[in-house]
Structure 1
Amino acid sequence: MTTPTTADKRTLTLVEALAEIRVSRAAFYRMRARGQAPRHLKLPNGQIRIRRADLDAWFDGCEVQEAC
């Protein structure tokens, strides 16, 4: 069994994640309400964090293969 690396454990703030995927905060909350947002953590203080690995997995899942 392998242990997670530091990069796998890194969490992004909501602002950092939104800047990377280039969506607005409102769009994120709409996606979240529909169950389409990346997996995320909600801290006791109400802040949202997104694990790097979860964001990468979500982004990879958005890939669409075009039919020829």
Structure 2
Amino acid sequence: MKGATRSRDKLTVDEICAELQISRSTFYDWRQKGRAPRCVKLPNGSLRIRRSDLENWLTDCEGGA
């Protein structure tokens, strides 16, 4: 079960987009501009975002609002 919990610590781009209610193109635009949460690039080229990085990013966004 530990592996299942660990995999939930890293979210896919689709999961992030659904949670933030944004399109994939918006996410990639933010990423290109350095405004997206920090991502981990897997050997197959897909991206994952750690839950903790998303939470920290959201906190930083609140501070700038």
Common fold, TM-score beyond 0.5? yes
Alpha-carbon distance in 1 for matches of 2:17, 2:41: 16
Residue 13 of structure 2 is matched in structure 1 by 14
**How do 1:17-56 residues align onto structure 2 when only pairs under 5 Å count?**
17-56=16-55
Which has the larger helix fraction?
Answer: 2
1:21 CA displacement: 1.0
Q: Secondary structure at the match of 2:55?
A: helix
Identify unmatched segments of 5+ residues in structure 2. none
Structure 1 length-normalised TM: 0.77
Alpha-carbon distance in 1 for matches of 2:51, 2:33: 21
Identity of aligned residues (%): 50
Alpha-carbon distance in 2 for matches of 1:19, 1:37: 14
Tell me which structure has the larger Cα radius of gyration: 1
Aligned length: 58
Identify unmatched segments of 5+ residues in structure 1. 1-5
Alpha-carbon distance in 1 for matches of 2:21, 2:57: 14
Residue 62 of structure 1 is matched in structure 2 by 61
**Deviant stretches of 4+, over 3 Å:** none
